[in-house]
Amino acid sequence: MAKSDKQFVSISIIGLPGSGKTTFLAALWALVNERRVAKVLSFDSIGENDHSYLRKIVTVWRKATEQARTKLTGLSAVRMNLKDGKGNVVEIAMPDAPGEDFRAMWEDRELGRALGDSLANGNILLLLNGNKVKMPAWVTERAAQRRATGTQKTASLPKDWHPRAAPTQVQLVDLLQLISHAPVGHTGRRIVVMISAWDKVEGEKLTPDAFLVAKLPLLAQYLEAGRDGWTSRVYGVSAQGGEYDGNDVNAEPVEGGAPKKTRNSRDADRLREVDIPANRIRLIFGEQESNDLTEPLQWLMQ
């Protein structure tokens, strides 16, 4: 490809509410614009695209402050022109939809035309919060807990079931199946599974692949079986590098009204002291660690 040529690549970032999509985009924007940090793809230009949303979220990210909930009217696409080491330019278009839109696909079986069109082509970056995985309630485990505590099973009135009560892996597998078949999408695409909040779960001493197998076995088996033709990679990511201000809802003020220094606020102070904010990013692939969020994007572009 000639240096002046430009490719167009569509990568859809999907995930349930709280999966970290906004934080990922903010960290990515900070990284590609940071010349002092090595990466496989760097910023080339923004073209005629409006990047006010990116400027807003990266400002919050640099301050180590919790991002506000994504509130979009209609589907918005984050676009940026990136280039590799040879000067080849690719325009990345990442439709940015709130997690509630993806939850509605599972709970209400509803999908807007604009979001459906954006999911029909291109490859997928699936974000899931490793610290908020809703596990199945196994009958054998409940029985073992009762035996261990000496409690008896008590009769209770049945509760109305809501789709939101389903385990995380069930919701995500259904979501991937929906975008793998007509009229929404097609089979045979690449997908990056990005386990966010990796700093919260790395204490279990598992690689991202092993974490997926251990905590979301249904999702891991679905991807491995290849029924819908997914070619997958699994990463762990801490796009913010630690706890931000605003994450601790139980923080209480000290005498005089000054905010009490919690572990979260102390961690946020540490993050703000990092000379190059992009160095706060941690990306884990197998046993390797870097801060290059563009590496998964390059793999998805192939």
Digit-by-digit pLDDT tens for the chain (302 residues) are 444 467 888 899 999 999 999 899 999 999 999 999 999 999 999 877 778 888 888 988 988 777 665 554 455 678 889 998 888 888 888 877 888 999 999 999 999 888 888 898 889 999 999 999 998 876 676 677 767 777 776 666 667 888 999 999 999 999 999 999 988 889 999 999 999 999 999 999 999 999 999 999 999 999 999 999 999 999 999 987 666 665 444 444 444 444 444 455 667 666 667 779 999 999 999 999 999 999 999 999 88
Q: Where do the DSSP E strands lie in the chain? A: 6-14, 42-45, 76-83, 89-96, 123-129, 190-196, 231-238, 282-285, 288-290
Tally of domains within the chain: 1
Give the domain extent around 220.
6-135+165-301
Q: Tell me whether residue 140 is in a domain.
A: no
Q: Give the burial class of 89: count Cβ atoms within 10 A of its Cβ; 0-12 exposed, 13-18 middle, 19 or more buried.
A: middle
pLDDT value at residue 144? 72
Residue 146 included in any domain? no
Residue 112 within a domain: yes
Domain assignment of residue 141, yes or no: no
In the DSSP assignment, the letter for residue 280 is G
Please check whether residue 137 is in contact with residue 172, taking contact to mean a CB–CB distance below 8 angstroms. no
> The CATH number of the domain where 10 resides is what?
3.40.50.300
Q: Of the candidates 69, 65, 192, which has an alpha carbon nearest to the alpha carbon of residue 122?
A: 192
Any domain includes 233: yes
Q: Are 20 and 129 in contact (CB under 8 A)?
A: yes
> Structure pTM?
0.83
Q: What is the bridge-based pairing of β-strands 288-290 and 282-285? A: antiparallel
- Let me know if residue 123 belongs to a domain: yes
Q: How many helices (H) and strands (E) does the chain have?
A: 11, 9
Whether residue 144 lies inside any domain: the answer is no
Domain-embedded: residue 53: yes
How does DSSP classify residue 245?
Answer: B
pLDDT digits 0-9 by tens, 187-204: 999 999 999 999 999 999
